[in-house]
Chain A
Amino acid sequence: MMRNDPIKHVFIWPAVLVVLAISIFPLIYSLTTSFLSYRLIPPIPPRVVWLGNYATLLQEPRFWSALFTTTLIAFIAVGLQYAIGFGVALALNARVPGERLFRVALLLPMLLAPVAVALVARMMFNPTMGPLNQFLSKFGLVNLPFLTNGHWALACIIAVEVWQWTPFVILMMLAGLQTLPEDVYEAAELENASAWQQFWGITFPMMLPISAAVVFIRLIESYKIMDTVFVMTGGGPGVDTETLTLFAYQEGFKKFNLGYTSALSFLFLIAITIIGVTYLALLRPHLEKRR
């Protein structure tokens, strides 16, 4: 039942005002700036260049490489998070021995500061003094260039992302699993369906909506990745691990090239919107079939 009472405005306006002020303001500001050639250092007066910044950016290989790197990190990391997270959630839901103890430990990483996690990762991945090096040297792999080789560095960043955010997937999937109705499984049991068949026939389709939501949230969040890369490699070696946010930061905060940075952040916004909309469009038929 919905009430109608003038007091509702008192309830909703503070939140709306704050969000409007802090999100629409900068949006308009950077949208208009993105059509200007505007630098703070050296200070030249702004000049309207319309789509000039966008054109320059689209021809800039560094932009495409940053977009590619970000996409790579996001998709691989989220795929792994989902696979591992779903698996662990299934196991926890099935009351694996010691499941209570696992829960606290498994929740931990997602609440920790990514910056601190990245620092810890730097220690773990240190090629001479790190524990991982010691472990791998037992297999004859000594002093691997974890953070100094482009491909290795990318893999390490993905590993850290997986480490930190799989708990989120576990948490959400576990909550979803606990809402599944039991009688369907009992019926499947009577039909002598194997565990494998039960998973693909019942659990997976029923978990599809929540899976879609979890993957969506993680994908969008992964595209914003910045702190982990900033601390672990700083975008290096070269620009091999530079993500979009980091690229924008370098351009904006180091070079104070305002128009260019604003255009970059808008391209970023467009990219995220395209990915989000495509994702939802691809999933829609699967989600609606179930209803």
Chain B
Amino acid sequence: MSGQGLTGLSPWSRRLVAVGVLAWCLITVFPLYWVVVTAFKTPPGVVGGPTYIPFVDFTPTLQPFIDLYQGIRGEFFRTFLNSTIVGLSAAAIATAIGAMAAYALVRFEFKVRFGAGLVFFLLALAGYLFFNATFGLTRPQALLLAFPIALVAAVIANRLPLPGPILGNEDILFWFVSQRMFPPIVTAFALYLLYSEIGRLGFQLIDSYVGLTLCYVAFSLPIVVWLMRDFFEAIPIEVEEAAMVDNVPSCRIFIGIVVPMSMNGLLATFMITLAFVWNEFLFALFLTNSRWQTLPILVAGQNSQRGDEWWAISAAALVAIVPMMIMAGLLSRMMRSGLLLGAIK
């Protein structure tokens, strides 16, 4: 630890710095305090102007929460359940397969020819256009057909001695992470169209558990792979080498040794992913409409539905915020133990 930054400063400037940090902290905390107290106000307590301290400035009431529970402002209970189910399952699946991929990238060697990647993209594009234009297949059918063909062709092309650079593990990692750079609107909108056309084929993905979870898994994977790779790299390889001498198969090494050793990292990654899915707005806006609506959509809707009924809006916002507050507490414990340090380089 290098606690050096302030040693050269005079006591006065030291105090000044402390005041500055305190000020920022107040700015951070005040809106949160505000939303908590507002959620317990009665309508007159809000309209009469800002009031700050419960029991002194106004009499707190539980009415906004009772309204929420009774479903006067939309089905909060079910939406909360939706968010929880989708969030937990998407985070769990993403952490599981993302950790597997990250482990593979740390411990095994991969070689992908750039040409093979190009073959994949061009064949998928050409195949899609070809099937759509000549065979008169619908767009999703054409895509679904072109995808496996392009994939198989790419895998074969990877064995051929094509010219062009050979990409290694770092490049694969970069490909994963670069998916995060895409503006989500590009995918969200196309995904909406694709889902709805697949829906017309008889398999409903819009406003369904599978469709939403699949999309969230895909969009959490880049972060999971990135974070988990650093956790796995920090694990000493000797234990695994010892197991390999005893001829323990790789998947048992992974499940029996590596996973337990990186449990903290997995937990932290799981929680970060969960927060990401829980708060996500854009995809949920496009891909759900009633049954599988998630909390951010319902919360955002509170505003336009009834105007400035702040007591209700605050209660609604609080429902979306509180679980994440609890998680912030848990995460900051992990942060203090220096666990997240390894993840950030």
Contacts and interface: CB of A to CB of B under 8 A. Distances in A.
A283 interface: no
Pick the most buried of A30, A113, A133, A227: most chain B CB atoms within 10 A of its CB: A113
A8 B300 contact: no
A107 B332 contact: yes
Interface stretch (A54-62, A138-146, A149-157, A261-269): A261-269
Nearest to B281: A227
Interface in A1-60: 1-5, 7-8, 10-12, 14-16, 18-33
Pick the most buried of A8, A15, A94, A226: most chain B CB atoms within 10 A of its CB: A15
A33 B214 CA distance: 23
A185 B2 contact: yes
5 contacts: A18-B218, A84-B24, A91-B20, A175-B341, A248-B189
A106 to B, nearest CB: 6
A19 B176 contact: yes
Interface of A: 1-5, 7-8, 10-12, 14-16, 18-33, 84, 87-88, 90-98, 100, 102-109, 111-124, 126, 129-131, 133-134, 163, 166-167, 171-172, 175-182, 185, 189, 193-195, 198-199, 203, 210, 220, 223-224, 226-227, 230-231, 244-245, 248-249, 252-253, 258, 261-262, 265-266, 268-269, 272-273, 276
A9 to B, nearest CB: 8
B4 A26 contact: no
A96 B275 contact: no
Given A116-B296, A171-B335, A94 B6 contact: yes
A174 B289 CA distance: 41
A4 to B, nearest CB: 6
B147 interface: yes
B98 to A, nearest CB: 6
B250 interface: yes
B3 A8 contact: no
A244 B299 contact: no
Contacts of B108: 2-5, 8, 11-12
A15 B241 CA distance: 25
Nearest to A276: B181
A92 B2 CA distance: 11
Contacts of A261: 189
Nearest to A160: B31
B302 A119 contact: yes
| Top 8 A-B pairs, shortest CB-CB distance | A26-B190, A195-B8, A22-B218, A94-B6, A15-B101, A11-B104, A8-B108, A113-B279
B299 A116 contact: yes
A228 to B, nearest CB: 9
Contacts of B125: 28, 31-32
A16 B193 CA distance: 22
Main secondary structure of the interface of A (DSSP, over half): helix
Contact of B4 (A25, A185, A224, A245): A185
Contacts of B332: 103-104, 107
Contacts of A104: 328-329, 332
B251 A23 contact: no
Given A111-B331, A113-B281, A123-B313, A30 B189 contact: yes
Nearest to B343: A175
A175 B2 CA distance: 11
Contact of A272 (B124, B181, B299): B181
Contact of B110 (A12, A26, A194, A262): A12
Contacts of A227: 281-282, 296, 300
B269 interface: no
A193 B38 CA distance: 51
A123 B281 contact: no
Given A126-B308, A195-B5, 5 more contacts: A12-B108, A18-B214, A31-B125, A33-B190, A195-B6
B47 interface: yes
Contacts of B254: 11
Contact of B28 (A163, A175, A248): A163
A118 B336 CA distance: 29
B157 interface: no
Given A7-B250, A108-B328, A245-B282, A122 B35 contact: no
